[in-house]
A and B are shown apart, each in its own frame.
Chain A
Amino acid sequence: MQSSEQEEDLRLLRESARTLFDRAGGSGRSRKLRDAGGEFDPDMVRELGEAGVFGVAVPEEQGGLGMGLAAGGVIAEEVGRVIAPEPVVATIGLGLGLLRRLCPEHPKLEQLVGGEASLAVAWQERGPGGASADATCRYADGKLTGGKAWVVGAGGTQDFLVVAEADGGPVLVLAEASADGLVTTRRAQADGSSLGELSFSGTPAAELACGAAVQGALSEAVADATALAAAELVGLSQRAFEITLDYIKTREQFNKPIGSFQVIQHRAVDLNVMCEVAQAAVREVLMRMDGETDASIRARLASRAKARAVTAARKVTRDAIQLHGAVGYTDEFDIGLYLNRALVLSAWLGDDAYHRRIWFDAREEEGAAQ
């Protein structure tokens, strides 16, 4: 049970984030950005930064609000509700997650918190069957070679934080967007956004941190981002459900609202229950991650959250289309935007089947260790 003071802080944060996104145009703004080419709005990033959104989980002594991941989850849920394309979760979880753990003095941290700059984190690499466990991207003599994949927020003028292998182990380096030998290929995503595939050929980059600390910070940051992506899916699912509920209350067939038919009612209840379980579970996870220092337990909690959120979002967004009937299959109705965003968020950082596997294996290891 959280303290009532903390609960009140989170409630106020939720209210102000919701007002901010609604005033900016809600899901309508997201549709416009998609139609205009799919990238996010730098002015919105600045506005979010000024409101303190990116710094919620950054400690106060580093210029953040120091409210923890629970507060990050509140923001992520609100982002999900309006399917905002800004890389809020990637910034809070990955970008700031790495910088605040490895080099809190770096000026980029302050710029990211303030929304004055964006930074895309490149850490995954493509293997034969999906994500590779081994890094082939090399860093030597101040230059990067190799490639990175699935980079969120790589469509603009932002710089890149890259995790690469050096002779002394893993390093975190900073490469400028316009650096020599950097080629960015954009892979179009279902929601109109893109993921970047980067290739480096002798690309100059500045080393920010090296050694085992980089691996540790990366695992922690990925766990944070995974749990926050779960929260974004929770907000998305909740809003998709609300839209659907409104629709079945007003759409009439056989001279009655279709929401008066029991089969529709029971399906709506099942979606509602899914949403509530997901919300309770993900919020509990974020709260517990804030109080947990053991990295493997934090990772297992994050997997639990993402597994639940993806399961719920899949059920809710698919059923939402069915309950809308034929108009659900049109681009004109907003419900499809939620489905498309759910597809992208579910695949990013691992889907439910993946995270159940991770969760189960971690549970087995803990059991064996005891």
Chain B
Amino acid sequence: MTDWNAMSDAEFRKEVRGFLEAEYPEELRHLPHRPKFAEIEHWHRKLHTKGWVAPAWPAEYGGMGLNAAKLLIFYEEQQRWGVNRGRDMGVQMVGPLIIKFGTQKQKNYWLPRILSCEDIWCQGYSEPGAGSDLANLRTRAEIDGDDFVINGQKIWTTMAHDATHIFMLVRTDPDAPKKQQGISFVLASMDQPGVEVRTITTLSGETEFCEVFFDNARTPRENLVGELNKGWTMAKALLSFERIFIGSPSLAQNALGQLESFARGRGAFDDPVFRDRFAQAALDVEDHAALYSRFADQLKRGETLGADVSMLKIWVTECFQRITELMIEAAGPDGGTVGPLQVGNVSVDVLASFYKARPTTIYGGSNEIQRNILSKAVLGLPD
């Protein structure tokens, strides 16, 4: 077993970069949509053989056991090379949940199946009445003998139509005094009569989001993770690393690179107004990266990140949106045209970028929710 953490940062980066550049399939680089598992299965097999499916998991569970510094490098290199995240809900969310709160039996059973992608997971959090106000969720799980019986509806469930299992927050005690209490974490199979999936067509015409309906669906009681009615606290504990990841500069940096080659091809830089707006966007990206480094350094020193890390997400997602607006501006009369636009030897799908930027200010806690968090937890502003 290699101790990756013992390597220097530079050595480790070289190792990761070398592997990705040699092995990652060219046709999957910078994939504009979220793939079904079949599309990326051959890449997943390579990762699995290499033992690199779960960089953050401890080595004893089949992960790479990377510390925060190495983990950031791993993700930076993935993003740099345009490597698709794959169907990583199992690795990113379910695995850490089970490792932290699961029983030994759950670990033995589920973790290897996540690594091999025998099980493909989707995340059942949001509901029609529980978006930003997630604790308002209503999907019920009632104990019936050895099972939970689940009734209700989840929505915005990413790739549920290509998942074998769902990990979900459900209400197990409707009479709890606070709505954050009485919520539990359960795992369930999607392959049963009481589960129905309908895809949602987005503005960009993609169908990556789904609605999932539960009508007396069942899951064994042993699929409860952690304590009954303690799901909310557990869900929050899972978010610590995600909060810097969701504010990483890569989305905006990639978009800026696309904007630059597209605008150059279109001659947009001849216009001094455009030049200034490009400079503003480019500096917004560069200066965000400086702030990102400050938080990343904190992680590398082994410190826990505070609520102030939310500002990264606000800045980078809004910046990403401004960049895609500039792409549309540079496209001129082609600004409403669907599909790749060819300029010189580059081809840029302006509208795909634009649509991709829209949900970033909505998901992962909308930017308005992030501002609420910052105003309370960081600035100490009163209710």
What is A's interface to B at a CB cutoff of 8 Å? 1, 245, 248-249, 256-257, 259-260, 262, 264-266, 268-270, 272-273, 276-278, 280-281, 283-284, 304, 307-308, 353, 356-357, 359-360, 363
Q: Which of A245, A248, A277, A356 contacts B276 (CB 8 A)?
A: A356
Q: Which residue of A lies closest to B9 (CB)?
A: A1
| Distance of A283 Cα from B297 Cα, bound (Å) | 14
Residues B288-337 near A (CB distance < 8 A): 288, 290-291, 293-294, 297, 300, 308, 311, 314-315
B46 lies within 8 A of chain A by Cβ:
no
B383 lies within 8 A of chain A by Cβ:
yes
The reply to whether B382 and A257 contact each other, CB–CB distance below 8 Å, is: yes
The reply to whether B283 and A356 contact each other, CB–CB distance below 8 Å, is: yes
| Distance of A234 Cα from B377 Cα, bound (Å) | 23
Q: A1-B293, A272-B374 are in contact. Are A307 and B283 (CB under 8 A)?
A: yes
Q: A265-B371, A277-B315, A281-B286 are in contact. Are A359 and B291 (CB under 8 A)?
A: no
Closest CB in chain A relative to B125 CB, distance in Å: 24
Q: Which residue of A lies closest to B264 (CB)?
A: A367
The reply to whether A265 and B278 contact each other, CB–CB distance below 8 Å, is: no
B38 lies within 8 A of chain A by Cβ:
no
B372 lies within 8 A of chain A by Cβ:
yes
The reply to whether A265 and B283 contact each other, CB–CB distance below 8 Å, is: no
B1 lies within 8 A of chain A by Cβ:
no
Q: Mark B337-381, 1 if CB is under 8 A from A, else 0.
A: 000000000000000000000000000000010011011001111
Q: Which of A264, A265, A356, A360 contacts B372 (CB 8 A)?
A: A265
23 A-B pairs in the complex with CB atoms less than 8 angstroms apart: A1-B293, A248-B381, A256-B382, A260-B381, A260-B383, A265-B379, A266-B368, A266-B371, A266-B372, A268-B379, A268-B381, A269-B371, A269-B374, A273-B311, A273-B314, A273-B315, A277-B291, A281-B287, A281-B290, A283-B290, A284-B290, A359-B283, A360-B278
Q: Which residues of B contact A308 (CB under 8 A)?
A: 283, 287
Q: Which residues of B contact A268 (CB under 8 A)?
A: 375, 379, 381
The reply to whether B279 and A1 contact each other, CB–CB distance below 8 Å, is: no
Q: Which residues of B contact A257 (CB under 8 A)?
A: 382
The reply to whether A280 and B283 contact each other, CB–CB distance below 8 Å, is: no
| Distance of A268 Cα from B377 Cα, bound (Å) | 13
B275 lies within 8 A of chain A by Cβ:
yes
The reply to whether B380 and A281 contact each other, CB–CB distance below 8 Å, is: no
Q: A259-B382, A276-B311, A308-B283 are in contact. Are A266 and B375 (CB under 8 A)?
A: yes
The reply to whether B286 and A360 contact each other, CB–CB distance below 8 Å, is: no
The reply to whether A249 and B380 contact each other, CB–CB distance below 8 Å, is: yes
Closest CB in chain A relative to B197 CB, distance in Å: 36
Q: Which residues of A contact B293 (CB under 8 A)?
A: 1, 280, 284
B192 lies within 8 A of chain A by Cβ:
no
The reply to whether B381 and A249 contact each other, CB–CB distance below 8 Å, is: yes
Q: Which residue of B lies closest to A256 (CB)?
A: B382
Q: Which residues of A contact B314 (CB under 8 A)?
A: 269, 273
| Distance of A359 Cα from B275 Cα, bound (Å) | 11
Residues B173-219 near A (CB distance < 8 A): none
Select the residue from A269, A284, A304 with max chain B CB neighbours within 10 A: A269
| Distance of A269 Cα from B278 Cα, bound (Å) | 25
Q: Which residue of A lies closest to B272 (CB)?
A: A357
Q: Which residues of B contact A276 (CB under 8 A)?
A: 291, 308, 311
Q: A265-B371, A359-B279, A359-B283 are in contact. Are A272 and B315 (CB under 8 A)?
A: no
Closest CB in chain B relative to A7 CB, distance in Å: 10
B240 lies within 8 A of chain A by Cβ:
no
| Distance of A360 Cα from B268 Cα, bound (Å) | 14
| Distance of A158 Cα from B208 Cα, bound (Å) | 70
Q: Which residues of B contact A262 (CB under 8 A)?
A: 372, 375
Closest CB in chain B relative to A364 CB, distance in Å: 8
Q: A266-B371, A268-B375 are in contact. Are A304 and B283 (CB under 8 A)?
A: yes
| Distance of A357 Cα from B275 Cα, bound (Å) | 8
Closest CB in chain A relative to B103 CB, distance in Å: 40
Q: Which of A265, A283, A360 contacts B375 (CB 8 A)?
A: A265
Q: A273-B314, A357-B279, A360-B278 are in contact. Are A245 and B379 (CB under 8 A)?
A: yes
Q: Which of A269, A280, A357 contacts B379 (CB 8 A)?
A: A269
Select the residue from A1, A260, A359 with max chain B CB neighbours within 10 A: A1
The reply to whether A265 and B311 contact each other, CB–CB distance below 8 Å, is: no
| Distance of A118 Cα from B55 Cα, bound (Å) | 58
| Distance of A256 Cα from B279 Cα, bound (Å) | 42
Closest CB in chain B relative to A308 CB, distance in Å: 5
| Distance of A18 Cα from B368 Cα, bound (Å) | 35
Q: Which residue of B lies closest to A358 (CB)?
A: B279
| Distance of A353 Cα from B273 Cα, bound (Å) | 11
The reply to whether A265 and B275 contact each other, CB–CB distance below 8 Å, is: no
Closest CB in chain A relative to B350 CB, distance in Å: 22
Q: Which residue of B lies closest to A287 (CB)?
A: B290
Q: Which residues of B contact A248 (CB under 8 A)?
A: 381
Q: Which of A272, A283, A360 contacts B378 (CB 8 A)?
A: A272
